[in-house]
Structure 1
Amino acid sequence: MSQPSSFSRRRAATRIAAITAALCVPLAAHSADYPTRPVRVVVPYSPGGATDVAARLVSNKLNGILGQSFVVDNRAGATGTIGTNMVVRSEPDGYTLLANDTTYAMLPSLFTQLPWDHAKGLVPITTLMTTPMLALVPANSRFKTLADLLDYARANPGKLNFGSGGSGSSIHLAAELMNSQAKVSMTHVPYKGGGDAMAALVSGQIDMLMEVPATAVGQIAGGKVRALAISSTQRLPLLPDVPTFAQSGMPDYKVTSWFGMSAPQGTSPEIVAKLRKAIQAALAEPDVRRRIDELGAQPGGIESADYAAMIVRDTQLWGGVAKKIGLQPQ
């Protein structure tokens, strides 16, 4: 059999080099030109909730900043795992993103097995906003302060109850953490959703509810519920008469709910960085900041590495709370 000539070998090497270059250039161009078509932002919950509000607020601004439509797609179900799994299994090209919240850090405590690697399935981009939690009671409640509520609860273990949007939900575990730190025992009453739990509080069916300001402010302003304390380090300008937990005798209770944006594992660092910078620009817009203030929240925009570290930290925190109360994963 004859050997290939040196000319043939050179021509083959040239072709291989050309093919390699052709494969690499579009990848680099893809990251530089991104986005070149509409981007889907999956919200793993129903429309109208705080995660949905945050996603739409920022997506509307990204339309102009990046020159393509960012379309919010609500895919609710199974505590957010249906929509999340959809994003995890999507192509890591930056055209399918996930808007999620603190509940993501609680999922390992709620399910014995998730259909993706919780620690590696997503690339955190940045936070959209963060918000404290409020301790709420019905407007006609006998309890005027958090100390009143906790003193009664200590003297009457198990007599008071608190509601939530479901076992293992963020407002459930936030209340359980308060109970643990305050060394009180209140009975948990789970509802099908946060809206049902708020309705139960308004009607006096439950004694207490933890909730984010975005959901509670309207009920407070309408005189239907009373806020006893807020978990931020300072009082909110939106609710100047509501003391912090620290001012109410619980300095270690500093629960924060976060809302953020993530991409499938494997998304290029260049695309992640471009999205983070665009989100930071969106959050700097005066009308966006004004709306976030109205929700009783603070704008996000932290570095991707810091967001990833926060998810790890909160996963450990809520895992400990779930274990302490004996929450059984499904």
Structure 2
Amino acid sequence: MMKSLVAGCMLAFGLHGAALAQGTSWPDKPIKLVVGFTPGGAADYVGRTVGDALSRVLGQPIVIDNKPGAGSSIAADFVAKAPADGYTLLIASPSAISVNPALDAKWAAGINSLIPVTKVTASPLVIAANPQTGIKSIGDLIEQAKKNPGKMNFAHAGMGSAPHLGGVHFNQLAGTQLTPIPFKGGAPSVQSVIAGDTQVTFATPPSVLPHIKSGRLVGLAVSSPDRSPLVPDLPGMKEAGLGNYRMDFWYGFFVPTGTSPEIVKKLYDATMTAMQRPEVKAALAREGTDVSVSSSPVEFGNYLKDESRFWGKLAKDSGAKAE
């Protein structure tokens, strides 16, 4: 019995020592950053922008791995099952972390197998329309939608994504019946509006702002109550006439459960340093996205509890279904 106890203690000490050694040497090879959406969308843009800065801080390449599908839950599940060695990192939004687990229990286990590291960005959604619709304001959108119930639609980045729930929530508050049309990512959903295949989109800023600036889309408003300094030319929802509407959007970093505390701390500290670089702030601001880093991994975890209640309730109330 005593020999077994000693052996167990030695094994535990060995594992702890291995974790410490792992944390001390990390990183000594490239790190994979998994993005749950297609290239060209907001998650991809933020991931590449932040990943490039993070690679300079850590001294190792950050390799982007796009794994779209199921509102980015496929990517979350992939990372949750990856080795807990600090070399597989997830960038995720409310859709994977808060929405899909609330709608489908099969994704909950994967989310519970992730450690939150930090929030990295925050931004409002942007509501935009195809110029041929003649819609130039939120008032125009509501008026046309009510004149044509069920005949107008909006494109979004996938079932359970923030753009999807942004449109559903708009229907609830505005009394409209815009039909949601899903795509596998922000970029293809926005392209469908530009092409005229769909009429309106509730999109993340990096996906839509360049097209508003070029005139291929008409910006109607941002989803925050007031104007955002990141998108000063568009009204907030109070000014636009739907003051009780509000949708905030974020991206954050996660690693598999079992990753050593030393690595989590190193990753958090490196992200904090990377996000303070002026070129990172400028690149994100150009796309209507703000740097928003948590004060610690624990604080980010507590923040996610409140977020999960908000997004989960909204998803269930709206009748949304996980992909």
> Per the shorter chain, which TM-score range?
0.7 to 0.9
When residues 209 and 45 of structure 1 are mapped into structure 2, their CA distance, relative to the original with a 3 A threshold, is closer
Which 10-residue stretch deviates more, 55-64 or 288-297?
55-64
Any stretches of 5+ residues in structure 2 without a counterpart?
none
| Structure 2: distance between partners of 1:241 and 1:17 | 63
Q: Which amino acid aligns with 2:86?
A: G
| Structure 1, 142-151 or 190-199: larger mean CA deviation | 190-199
Q: Displacement, 1:19?
A: 7.5
2-structure distance, mates of 1:260, 1:95:
16
Residue 167 (structure 1) shift: 3.5
Which structure 1 segments of 5+ residues have no match? 1-8
Flag the 1:168–1:82 CA change in 2: closer, same or farther, 3 A.
closer
Aligned counterpart for 1:315 among listed residues 308, 314, 323: 308
Task: Please state whether the residue corresponding to 1:117 is helix, strand or coil.
Answer: helix
Tell which deviates more after alignment, 286-295 or 145-154.
145-154
The aligned residue for residue 69 of structure 1 is: 61
Q: Distance in 1 between matches of 2:90 and 2:169?
A: 27
Equivalent position of 2:122 in the other structure = 130
Shift of 1:122: 0.6
Give the direction of change, closer, same or farther, for the CA distance of 1:185–1:267 in structure 2 (3 Å limit).
same
1:216 aligns with one of 208, 211, 218: 208
Structure 1 residues 58-94: Cα deviation after superposition (integer angstroms, max 9, x where no partner): 2222223223333222233443233322211122222
Amino acid aligned to 2:223: S
Q: Report if the CA contact (8 A) 1:126-1:300 is conserved.
A: no
Deviation string 1:35-55 (CA, Å, 9 cap, x unpaired) is: 233322222333332212222
Aligned length: 320
Question: How far apart are the structure 2 equivalents of 1:202 and 1:27?
Answer: 50
Counterpart-to-counterpart distance in 1, 2:106 and 2:6: 50
Does 1:257 pair with 2:249?
Answer: yes
Q: Who is 1:326 aligned against?
A: 319
1:304 is aligned, of 297, 302, 309, to: 297
The amino acid across from 1:132 in the alignment is P
Describe the SS at the equivalent of 2:133: coil
Sort the Cα spacing of 1:72 and 1:200 in 2 relative to 1 into closer, same or farther, 3 A: closer
Matched, 1:169 2:161: yes
Please state how far the C-alpha of 1:193 moved relative to its aligned partner: 4.3
Cα RMSD after superposing both structures:
3.0
Deviation at 1:279, TM superposition (A): 0.4
Identity %: 30
Counterparts of 1:16 and 1:199, CA distance in 2: 58
Equivalent-residue separation in structure 1 for 2:231 and 2:12 (angstroms)? 60
- Cα distance in 2, alignment partners of residues 309 and 238 from structure 1: 27
Q: 1:87 to 1:18 in 2, by over 3 A?
A: closer
1:163-207 residue CA offsets vs partner (Å, 9 max, x unmatched): 223433331111001111223222233345433432332233433
CA distance in 2, matches of 1:199, 1:243: 23
Structure with higher helix content: 2
Report the alpha carbon displacement of residue 329 of structure 1 after superposing the two structures with TM: 4.4
Question: Which protein is bigger by CA-based radius of gyration?
Answer: 1
Within 5 A, what are the aligned runs for 1:93-104?
93-104=85-96
